[in-house]
Amino acid sequence: MYCFTEVLYHGKNHLISCNSAEKIMFSQHNPLFSVDGSLSSRSQEFLCIFLCACTSIICCSSDCHCVTFFLNLHQHSFYYFFYCLQENRQFGSKMTDSKYFTTTKKGEIFELKAELNSDKKEKKKEAVKKVIASMTVGKDVSALFPDVVNCMQTDNLELKKLVYLYLMNYAKSQPDMAIMAVNTFVKDCEDPNPLIRALAVRTMGCIRVDKITEYLCEPLRKCLKDEDPYVRKTAAVCVAKLHDINAQLVEDQGFLDTLKDLISDSNPMVVANAVAALSEIAESHPNSNLMDLNPQTMNKLLTALNECTEWGQIFILDCLANYTPRDDRESQSICERVTPRLSHANSAVVLSAVKVLMKFMEMLPKDLDYYGTLLKKLAPPLVTLLSAEPELQYVALRNINLIVQRRPEILKHEMKVFYVKYNDPIYVKLEKLDIMIRLASQANIAQVLAELKEYATEVDVDFVRKAVRAIGRCAIKVEQSAERCVSTLLDLIQTKVNYVVQEAIVVIKDIFRKYPNKYESVIATLCENLDSLDEPEARAAMIWIVGEYAERIDNADELLESFLEGFHDESTQVQLQLLTAIVKLFLKKPTETQELVQQVLSLATQDSDNPDLRDRGYIYWRLLSTDPVAAKEVVLAEKPLISEETDLIEPTLLEELICHIGTLASVYHKPPSAFVEGNHGVQHKGLPGSAGSAESESPDAVSAGAATEAPAAVIPSQGDLLGDLLNLDLTPPATTGPLPHSGGMQMGAMDLLGGGLDSLLGGDLGGSPAMGAGFGAPPAAMPPAFSAPVSGSLYDLFDLDNGVGMPLGSFCPPKTVWLPAMKAKGLEISGTFVRHAGVIQMEMTITNKAMSVMTGFAIQFNRNSFGLAPAGPIQVPSPLSPNQNIEVSLPLNTVGPVMKMEPLNNLQVAFKNNIDVFYFSCQYPISVLFAEDGKMERQVFLATWKDIPNENESQFQIKDCHLNSDAASNKLQSINIFTIAERTVDGQDMLYQSMKLTNGIWALAELKVQAGNPNYTVSLKCRAPEVSQCVFQSYEAVLKN
């Protein structure tokens, strides 16, 4: 022992102090690590512990000197060194990363700081590793930021990666410090090693600090065009990251276009990542039309699909699902190319492929051979999904549930795979059960019932309940099996297991509703179990049965009376049921039960706080006292039969969900817009129509519908913008006489006209007599210089031939769906705006897609840019019965309150019916606001044109318009855009036009039409340049119509 310590004493670099052989202190240049250990006198143990101490130091500090020193001097103890490594686990397995978690008594951060600033590379790396380890467990080590960043400039890739890991986590909290890292990043982006280039651009994108993102643009642009595909694919994802941080920057820098170009990249991995990045960006910008899918890109995607990684395949397949094929042939060819994905080992790929196939199948004619083949091919992969891990099974089952509802034929022979294994997790069991019921048919009902009966004896109470309920649903679904189901239920009731009996009674009630007067013989058995019922639902069901069949149950009055004793302790459900049942009993056996009915009526009306109960009580009371015959008709009316449809998903929702197979929406069976946060304007996906129906629609209508679909966004129900709307009460506005026009104007004009108003008030109006005449706010004042006679050449310009025809009837854009039924509890509104003879009309089609009638319609607008408001209450002949639709025309005026909207022609509407209040927003074509007196004098026009500064001029292109200038002029006049002058220069017809908005804003236009060129150019000048965009849209809409 002495010799051993002697040697240690003489080690050059190490000072080891031995305090009376009880404590060993290890120290180096800087105090790094110390071990306190009680040593026994036995040298063996001493050695052991000492070696352990050494190992921890070696591992923690990685001080090469120490190791070499140690290994050189003590060959015999070298074995011990390894022995300790293997055996002395009680000191913590020091060779592993868990050592990074060990803390010492001194400040940990302080020590790490010292190590990070060490000039030894290894020590630095170990220190960074410790920092990362602390980070993983959620410890805050952000204080070390400058020290860690200092380690960044290194050629050691591992150290670099570790520092980057740290940076990503903490850069946000230390933005100023993070800037220090920028230089290294930019330098690394130029590194000859593609791995480092990619790593740099990737990490930079993860640092969510504005200052850094500014520097990111240039390196990113280079990397997007890098020669190495690995770098390109990393850069593609980086665009998505950057978009998440600063969307505007990405758009300004043109990265989106570069990203779109990457879809045509030669490397499939790059394509897949570009698609993934674009989809993610598109999700946050639903209207940006990023994924412009056309047959060419489809082809590229389908080619890349075969060659890219499994994850890339998922992104590409999800993207393919958004495409709408032109015809059934294209649809079939896509299906053929997607089908091989069904054999992929990754279940997510399989399910995404199923989604694409389910969607495109809709377009295939049913009699096609291929259709049948495809159906057959879909079943095996779905079945295979069920042999995977339970979590995968769950998601698969939720989706299969949808598929089975849409196309039961696919899995109709696969009932057995849905049989429940006793050790399946409960969430899998319940889903399987649900699908079993959906697949139940006359052919397999016997097996299904045997299975369900088996499940009813399982341990898990929830599952047993659901199994019993399932038997009832089978009875309702498969008529031939009803009798067998009832007898199975009776068997189960005989088991006397409490919760089984209660569930059985609840479902038997439903069976009675479905098959009246068929199984009433079992009532006696049910009544035997009356006392054991303690759940409200079961009690209510039993009471309903007693009331409904009171004439067949001898002691019905006694039974009901027994329930009445604890009336106030019952739940509302039971109380209501009891009230009804006793009234029924009274109507059937009036003589014996008068007392009973009086008792229950007084309990319900006088002693109850529940308004529902009181109301129902009063209704019965009045009915019975005024007209017992009517009462009989009401209370004992024949009830509609219930059907299995009740638990099916509504068809419109189902169609949308089919388009979302494999997503969260399909797991929750809710449309994505209903729950995914930040997804305000999710585009509704619908299944493409089958080949037949698509042809019947005219192509024009389809394209026009598609073009105008976007504005029909439903206002998210919690948006701040709704502030005003929510405060409005929804009674139709009383027509309070026209608001002072100028008052309404001023608000709008402030925004819209801006500085124009000042010049207008102070301007010299003298020169233009026409301008002052018609309206209060002429937009242009003619500078004196132009009031002088215009030169000859200008007269030339106004050489109008008088061939302008009369308007051909006003333009009416097609109706679009403003409020889908799914969002509004079955109320669907589609509509459009039209101006007719100077009156703006809101034309709506209101459809009731709910199960019940709708009444009490009212409409209200939020404040909007042009003060649009209903001129009177909406006239809807209510009630509107289910599946009925009506056309409503609501005249509007422009004297409502004004508030600038974004976009300008946005209109937020609140619509009320007896069910609820719904909010939606729509956009009206600004052309409905073009006044009939919008024709300007030529000279005024000329002067105004020159007077409006050039900044206010905007140019637009109208593509693919095949009208000559006369026809165009005529069309435009139909929406009150008047042609003032026309001239021809170099084969180009120039039309000079004017229009006036209802609030007095003038817009002037120059329309260039070149013979043989389908592209028109419109130049718009207006004092309020904000309106230009909307005006242009009107041009486009009317010219293309």
Region from 182-190, 420-428, 647-655, 876-884 binding other proteins, contact rule CB under 8 A: 420-428
CA distance 279 to 542: 54
Cβ-based nearer residue to other proteins, 664 or 839: 664
Q: Which of residues 287-346 bind other proteins (CB under 8 A)?
A: 307, 309-311, 314, 318, 340, 343-346
Interface with other proteins, residue 748, by CB under 8 A: no
What's the gap between Cα 1031 and its chain centre?
A: 32
Structure tokens at 554: 């001898």
Interface with other proteins, residue 108, by CB under 8 A: no
Cβ-based nearer residue to other proteins, 559 or 714: 714
Region of residue 496 (left: phi > 0; alpha: psi -120 to 50; beta: else):
left
Q: Which of 206, 694, 707, 804 is close enough to bind other proteins by CB under 8 A?
A: 206
Cβ-based nearer residue to other proteins, 310 or 595: 310
Nearest distance, CB of residue 33 and other proteins, angstroms: 15
Annotate 646-679 with three-state secondary structure: HHCCCHHHHHHHHCCCCCHHHHHCCCHHHCCCCC
Cβ-based nearer residue to other proteins, 664 or 702: 664
Q: Which of residues 469-488 bind other proteins (CB under 8 A)?
A: none
Interface with other proteins, residue 497, by CB under 8 A: yes
Cβ-based nearer residue to other proteins, 340 or 766: 340
Q: CB under 8 Å, gap of 24 or more: what pairs does 868-873 form?
A: 868/840, 868/892, 868/893, 868/894, 868/896, 868/907, 868/924, 869/733, 869/893, 869/894, 869/895, 869/896, 869/897, 870/732, 870/733, 870/842, 871/735, 872/732, 872/735, 873/732, 873/733
Interface with other proteins, residue 671, by CB under 8 A: no
Nearest distance, CB of residue 445 and other proteins, angstroms: 15
Nearest distance, CB of residue 164 and other proteins, angstroms: 8
Q: Is the bond preceding residue 814 a cis peptide, omega within 30 degrees?
A: no
**Interface mask (CB under 8 A) for other proteins, residues 352-371, using x and -?**
x-------------------
Interface with other proteins, residue 963, by CB under 8 A: no
Q: Which of 421, 517, 736, 806 is close enough to bind other proteins by CB under 8 A?
A: 421
Q: How many CA atoms lie within 13 A of 756 on its CB side?
A: 29
**Which residue, among 182, 220, 214, has the nearest Cα to 202 in the 3D structure?**
220
**H or E element: which one contains 958?**
strand 953-958
Three-class SS of residue 72? Answer: helix
CA distance 70 to 57: 12
Nearest distance, CB of residue 211 and other proteins, angstroms: 17
Q: Which of 371, 419, 515, 549 is close enough to bind other proteins by CB under 8 A?
A: 419
Interface with other proteins, residue 423, by CB under 8 A: yes
Q: Which of 59, 467, 538, 834 is close enough to bind other proteins by CB under 8 A?
A: 59
Interface with other proteins, residue 132, by CB under 8 A: yes
Q: Which of 107, 365, 380, 1014 is close enough to bind other proteins by CB under 8 A?
A: 380
Q: Taking a C-beta distance cutoff of 8 angstroms, is the pair 142, 109 a contact?
A: no
Cβ-based nearer residue to other proteins, 97 or 595: 97
Residues 6+ apart with CB under 8 A from 323: 293, 298, 334
Q: Which of 88, 153, 333, 384 is close enough to bind other proteins by CB under 8 A?
A: 384
Interface with other proteins, residue 110, by CB under 8 A: no
Interface with other proteins, residue 889, by CB under 8 A: no
Region from 217-225, 675-683, 781-789, 919-927 binding other proteins, contact rule CB under 8 A: 675-683
Interface with other proteins, residue 212, by CB under 8 A: no
Work out the widest C-alpha separation in the chain, in whole angstroms. Answer: 123
CA distance 835 to 810: 7
Q: Which of 77, 401, 663, 816 is close enough to bind other proteins by CB under 8 A?
A: 663
Q: Which of 225, 326, 413, 639 is close enough to bind other proteins by CB under 8 A?
A: 413
Interface with other proteins, residue 286, by CB under 8 A: no
Q: How many CA atoms lie within 13 A of 153 on its CB side?
A: 10
Interface with other proteins, residue 121, by CB under 8 A: yes
Q: Which of 566, 678, 699, 803 is close enough to bind other proteins by CB under 8 A?
A: 678
Q: Is the bond preceding residue 516 a cis peptide, omega within 30 degrees?
A: no
Interface with other proteins, residue 133, by CB under 8 A: yes
Q: Taking a C-beta distance cutoff of 8 angstroms, is the pair 597, 603 a contact?
A: no
Cβ-based nearer residue to other proteins, 344 or 815: 344
Q: Which of residues 220-259 bind other proteins (CB under 8 A)?
A: 228-230, 234, 237-238, 240-241, 244
Q: Which of 273, 502, 529, 994 is close enough to bind other proteins by CB under 8 A?
A: 273
Residues 6+ apart with CB under 8 A from 259: 224, 236, 239, 274, 277, 278, 281
Interface with other proteins, residue 396, by CB under 8 A: yes
Three-class SS of residue 870? Answer: strand
Region from 360-368, 408-416, 605-613, 794-802 binding other proteins, contact rule CB under 8 A: 408-416
Q: How many residues bind other proteins (CB under 8 A)?
A: 115
Q: Give the length of the chain.
A: 1041
Distances (CA, A) of 80 to 55, 72, 85, 86: 11, 14, 8, 10
Q: Are strands 953-958 and 1016-1022 parallel, antiparallel or unpaired?
A: antiparallel
CA distance 399 to 409: 15
Interface with other proteins, residue 265, by CB under 8 A: no
**Interface mask (CB under 8 A) for other proteins, residues 610-649, using x and -?**
----------------------------------------
**Interface mask (CB under 8 A) for other proteins, residues 435-464, using x and -?**
------------x---x--x--xxx-----
Q: CB count, 10 Å around CB of 513?
A: 16
Structure tokens at 160: 């670099």
Region from 193-201, 291-299, 744-752, 915-923 binding other proteins, contact rule CB under 8 A: 193-201
Interface with other proteins, residue 373, by CB under 8 A: no
Cβ-based nearer residue to other proteins, 204 or 859: 204
Nearest distance, CB of residue 310 and other proteins, angstroms: 7
CA distance 961 to 1011: 11
Region from 32-40, 61-69, 598-606, 1007-1015 binding other proteins, contact rule CB under 8 A: 61-69
Q: Taking a C-beta distance cutoff of 8 angstroms, is the pair 955, 1019 a contact?
A: yes
CA distance 895 to 743: 9
**Interface mask (CB under 8 A) for other proteins, residues 685-724, using x and -?**
----------------------------------------
Q: Which of 54, 57, 144, 162 is close enough to bind other proteins by CB under 8 A?
A: 162
Interface with other proteins, residue 737, by CB under 8 A: no
Cβ-based nearer residue to other proteins, 215 or 427: 427
Nearest distance, CB of residue 208 and other proteins, angstroms: 6
Cβ-based nearer residue to other proteins, 398 or 1023: 398
Nearest distance, CB of residue 437 and other proteins, angstroms: 17
Burial of 799 (0-12, 13-18, 19+ CB in 10 A): exposed
Strand order in the sheet with 858-861: 858-861, 906-912, 917-923
**Interface mask (CB under 8 A) for other proteins, residues 775-794, using x and -?**
--------------------
Structure tokens at 426: 């409960």
Phi first, then psi, for residue 1031 (nearest 5°) are: -65, -40
Distances (CA, A) of 90 to 38, 85, 682: 15, 11, 58
Interface with other proteins, residue 136, by CB under 8 A: yes
Q: Are strands 1002-1010 and 988-996 parallel, antiparallel or unpaired?
A: antiparallel
